[in-house]
């Protein structure tokens, strides 16, 4: 029996649609090295806005403006940086659009990076109805504000929406927003971490997820 299609498909970007971890890691490492800061564990920043991490966690950055620190990291990412797409991501978005399922991107990144990835890397920008970025909410993931805003602007009930995320912070945000279900991608975190966070199932890429939600990319 075919599953009912979701009222909307809400997708994270980094680590979910594109494999940007190597690019971002290099930027963070260069940023910390330039300041002589010893920050060995960068997982704290995965799936979260850098400014939120700087603001809410102690570290060698204490006392500095978190927004300025975050902007400095973004400035270290090359203008021509092109992350690899996650397998099946573009096809899943195209299939969802063909089925009439509204698509929103809910990301901790900024609007320029989101547009670049959707246009140049994935080539699906024209299928995406809404992009909620770090600039659209006061609090980033794990706060649910981004997903709540996406549902509101799409006119979709959260309880009808499906989310795909790669981080525990993103999964927590989606669950707090009251979505129907959250699928995890084991691109940046172990599958066990994602199921513990609340993902109903975890996949290595979008091929398996698309089948689960009734799409056939």
Return the active site residues: 12, 14
Q: Is 58 exposed, middle or buried (0-12, 13-18, 19+ CB in 10 A)?
A: exposed
C-alpha 160/C-alpha 169 separation (Å) is: 21
Our measurement of the distance from residue 77's CA atom to the centroid of its chain's CA atoms, rounded to an integer in Å, reads: 17
Q: At what angle do helices 168-177 and 145-154 cross, to 10 degrees?
A: 50
C-alpha 64/C-alpha 85 separation (Å) is: 34
Pair 83, 23: CB distance under 8 Å: yes
Strands 161-165 and 8-11: parallel
Pair 156, 8: CB distance under 8 Å: yes
Our measurement of the distance from residue 57's CA atom to the centroid of its chain's CA atoms, rounded to an integer in Å, reads: 21
First to last CA, the chain: 18
């Amino acid at each position: 029996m075919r599953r009912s299609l979701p009222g909307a498909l809400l997708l994270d970007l980094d680590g979910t649609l594109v494999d940007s971890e190597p690019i971002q890691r290099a930027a963070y490492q260069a940023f910390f090295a330039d300041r002589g800061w010893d920050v060995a564990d960068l997982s704290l920043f995965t799936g979260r806005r850098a400014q939120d991490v700087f603001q809410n966690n102690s570290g060698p950055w204490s006392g500095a403006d978190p927004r300025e620190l975050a902007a400095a990291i973004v400035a270290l990412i090359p203008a021509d940086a092109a992350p690899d797409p996650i397998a099946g991501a573009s096809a899943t978005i195209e299939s969802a659009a063909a089925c009439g399922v509204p698509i929103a991107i809910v990301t901790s990144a900024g609007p320029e990076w989101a547009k670049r990835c959707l246009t140049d890397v994935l080539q699906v920008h024209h299928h995406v109805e809404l992009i909620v970025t770090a600039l659209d909410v006061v609090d980033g993931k794990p706060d649910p504000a981004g997903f709540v805003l996406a549902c509101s602007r799409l006119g979709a009930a959260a309880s009808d929406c499906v989310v795909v995320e790669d981080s525990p912070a993103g999964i927590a945000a989606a669950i707090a927003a009251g979505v129907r279900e959250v699928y995890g991608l084991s691109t940046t975190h172990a599958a066990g971490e994602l199921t513990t966070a609340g993902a109903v199932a975890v996949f290595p890429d979008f091929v398996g997820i698309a089948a689960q939600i009734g799409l056939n990319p």
